[in-house]
Structure 1
Amino acid sequence: MKFSEMDFLLILTTFMILLVVLMMVAIYSVFIKKKSQLILLQKIKEATFEQELANSQVEIKEQTLNYIGQELHDDLGQKLSVARLMTNKLSYSTESDNKIIANEINLLIGECIQDIRNISKVFITKQVEHFGFIESLEREIFRIQRFQLLEVHYDINNRDLEINSSHALILFRIIQECINNVIKHSRSKCIELIVFDDQDRINFKINDTGIGFNMDRVNNGSGLKNLISRAKVINAKFEINSSEKIGTKVLITYNK
């Protein structure tokens, strides 16, 4: 009888040990699986972020080329045309007039040289990294004002924003695309851009008083989905509210 009890205890102990070992193996397997999933998810996030960053760089290049084209045609081209006309006047003007004309030509050429320097600064792949986020944003506003595309109401409570340097380019591109949508589609005469730096987040408001649109018709649009997905990549939230004949309001909330 004692031998049977010892046998039973041995079997029970062996079974318990095996059960514990199996449970540990199962827990370890689940842990390894979860870890693998997390690593894979992290890699997917990194790949998505890199893709969005690359897309933003390409799009900003296109915007920069368009900007340079406008500058060359509308500004430099006109100034050089005026300088050429003035140069032709030198052959039949009086000596006193020649001095005035020569001085004006000199001033025009000086302006052209400065314009070329400004353009060369813009022609940089990493525009946001070079100028800084706020300066790049304000250069975009200056471009709108310079070409008289819209009346701009701009307000910011802090020019030293805390934005992850790797996020700044994508955030700038989202705002730039919203501004371009206002210019192209809203028929608004003005745009309001408000930057408010809070303790834990930064709010960017882009409002217009244009024709607006029906939210039900564009909720599934690829353009809107693209903006929302880009915002998620940089831990930001993209919200849009529009009413027909009233205008559109965009709120981008970037979490620090």
Structure 2
Amino acid sequence: MKYKQIKWLILILPTVTITLWEYIRHAFLLPYISMELGNILSPVLVFVVTLIFLRHLFSILERYQEELRWEKSEKSILIEREKLARELHDGIAQSLFLLSVKMNKFERKKSLEQEVDFQKIKQTLQHVHEDTRQAIKNLQYLPNEDVFSWTDTIYQYVSELKKNHLLDVKFEWGIDEETLSTKEKIELFACIKEAVVNVIKHAKTNQIWILSKETEDGWICKVKDQGIGFTNDNVHFNEGYGIRIIKDRARDMEWEFSMKRIDNETVIELKKENK
């Protein structure tokens, strides 16, 4: 029995009961039951019939409500788990990967260069610590719009890529910060970091382009490289967890996402069109 059917039965049952009773009473029982006794029996009969049938209907309705509460609870848990997975992957997993790369290089370095590499490893470990704390904080609190300086953050990130990871980053930024909401800044920055790490992991190149510009009805942001790529025919087979996270973020923000191979360049593009 469906939820709407139960509600209609709860509404209709008392009316149907009293209608049938009054018909039977006037058609067949007037010679045997006085008017006063019939008036007394009417609410009693309605109460008894309603109690018998509505107890069963209410039990079904309560079961539906309990199932609905359980589904909402499960959905909220899944949302939190996905959010936690994003935070951990964006911060800890990326830093640990870069740390493992540095450790492998460290083993092959000469002793004179060990001190420099050791300092870089310490910096990466510090980033892991900071990312962990930030991930926990992000799960507990909403970002403070007053203290979030997105422009400084992204320029600092590019500077760290050049300094700590020996990357040649071609950075051209043309999106005015005022055109982005706080949530857009956070999500776009996370997508850029994810795309850069994807290049470091898979492209086998030390050159990255981070480009953006405003359009008539929105903006476009691209991260591209000239490393080992893929063909457009098998692009879906090359989508790891990081790329899926970018796609999910873009979908949640109602941005357009694309990943293409154009003239020996892998291009990840995010595009917003104002509606």
Into which bin does the TM-score normalised by the smaller protein fall?
A: 0.5 to 0.7
Deviations 1:177-200 (A, max 9, x none): 111111121122311111212343
3-state DSSP of counterpart to 2:246: helix
Q: CA deviation at 1:67?
A: 10
Determine whether 1:211 maps to 2:211.
no
Tell me how large the CA RMSD over aligned residues is.
4.1
Q: CA deviation at 1:234?
A: 0.9
Deviations 1:173-229 (A, max 9, x none): 221111111112112231111121234322111111112112322315354444323
Matching residue of 1:242: 261
When normalised by structure 1's length, the TM-score is 0.52
Q: CA deviation at 1:78?
A: 4.7
Q: Is the 8 A contact 1:49 1:233 kept in 2?
A: no
Determine whether 1:230 maps to 2:249.
yes
Deviations 1:34-78 (A, max 9, x none): xxxxxxxxx9xx9687665544333344168659978xx976965
Q: Is the 8 A contact 1:155 1:194 kept in 2?
A: yes
Q: What does residue range 159-174 of structure 1 map to in structure 2 within 5 Å?
A: 159-174=176-191
C-alpha spacing 1:56/1:197, structure 2 compared with 1 (3 Å): farther
Deviations 1:138-164 (A, max 9, x none): 222112101243211101124424223
Return the structure number with greater relative CO, CA threshold 8 A, min gap 6: 1
Q: Which has the higher Rg, Structure 1 or Structure 2? A: 2
C-alpha spacing 1:252/1:139, structure 2 compared with 1 (3 Å): same
Matching residue of 2:218: 201
Matching residue of 1:155: 172
When normalised by structure 2's length, the TM-score is 0.49
3-state DSSP of counterpart to 2:179: coil
% same residue: 19
In structure 2, what is the Cα distance between the partners aligned to 1:158 and 1:60?
23
Q: How many residues align?
A: 174
In structure 1, what is the Cα distance between the partners aligned to 2:162 and 2:261?
24
In structure 2, what is the Cα distance between the partners aligned to 1:139 and 1:252?
21
